[in-house]
Amino acid sequence: MTSEATEQVADWLRDSLGWKQAEFVSALAGGNSNLTWQFRDGENSCVVRTPPPDDISPTSARGIQREAQILQAIADYPVKVPGVLAWCDDETVIGRPFLVQEWVDGVALTDALPAAYADSPDSVNRLGEDLIDQLAALHAVPTDLEALAKLGRPERFVERQIERWLGVRREHAVRELPELFSLGEWLQRNVPTASAPAVIHGDYHLDNTLASKEQPEILAIIDWELATVGDCYMDVALMLMFWGDYRTQEPPAFSALQAVSRRAGVVSRRELAGRWAESLGRPINHMNFYMALALWRLAAIIEGAYGLHVAGKLDSDYARGLEYDVPALLAEAQAAAAGDW
């Protein structure tokens, strides 16, 4: 991040949005691989999202463009998302496009509840129910909207995911993980009959939302770079994978991840899945498959980071922990395939 870039964005906000005293406030954490900046003009604030300057390729801005496209397409539907204020594809401003979003004064929850909440399972349950209700609202958005016409390839959506990560792990294997391949092949043989596609977020969990600081309520879903039209059960399973205190392995993989929802007594994964299904009138008789897929896919993805660690390119507590966490995820995936989740 350079002060020159933020100054140029501030100038653009003054010229394009009519802000009189636009000023850069700070860089915000999160946002996957993109930069996220806060600007303000008196009492008004906005968020600017843009690819990093050192990671530019012909496709580097597609995630941000996709986010703008999705947010604009669903703006008239009851899904809690930041409003799009502007999209700038004039690369003469900072050398790459950027998206200007409404500022949402919330907090991303990870390991603790805000001080204003009652420190109880009931607070967490209200968040969980709101989280799954928002996902149902997203999955109810029509997929035939003109703005979504060229978004996604729902045909063989699940099959392509499995094929992709089996191929990646075969090509870049760093240790013996026979269960990764045996389970991947089981998933290939047991893909359910495709259901009606839906608009999906692609990385949906509590960390990718902003919650109220005052009461257990989701204010906005954020980070839409992976959104597409595809299989909505993958969204549900990913959210449930990070939810609840029930784990089949001891110690579980990533025991501290999304710790705020891991406390005893919170609403179960199955209850949340049932709530989503009832809202949309969709069956959930294949959730064993989708839970196994979510756990297996995460294991396949993060094994790449373990490979970097083995090669001496990544050294951190997270990277070192993958020696255990990847096999533990695969064991959870095998349990889920048998109905234990």
**Residue length of the chain:** 341
pLDDT tens readout for residues 265-303: 999 999 999 999 999 999 999 999 999 999 999 999 999
Bigger pLDDT: 149 vs 44: 44
Domain boundaries of the chain, sorted by first residue: 3-102, 121-337
pLDDT band at 33 (very low <50, low <70, confident <90, very high): confident
pLDDT band at 58 (very low <50, low <70, confident <90, very high): low
pTM (predicted TM-score): 0.93
pLDDT tens readout for residues 94-152: 999 999 999 999 999 998 999 999 999 999 999 999 999 999 999 999 999 988 888 88
Nearest to 195 by CA among 96, 130, 282, 256: 282
pLDDT score for 193 = 95
Domain 3-102 has CATH 3.30.200.20: yes
Over the Cα atoms of the chain, what is R_g?
21
The rounded mean pLDDT for the chain is: 93
- The amino acid present at 179, given as its one-letter code, is E
Give CATH for domain 121-337.
3.90.1200.10
pLDDT score for 2 = 63
Give me the helices (H) in the chain, please: 3-17, 62-73, 121-139, 157-171, 178-189, 232-241, 269-280, 287-310, 317-337
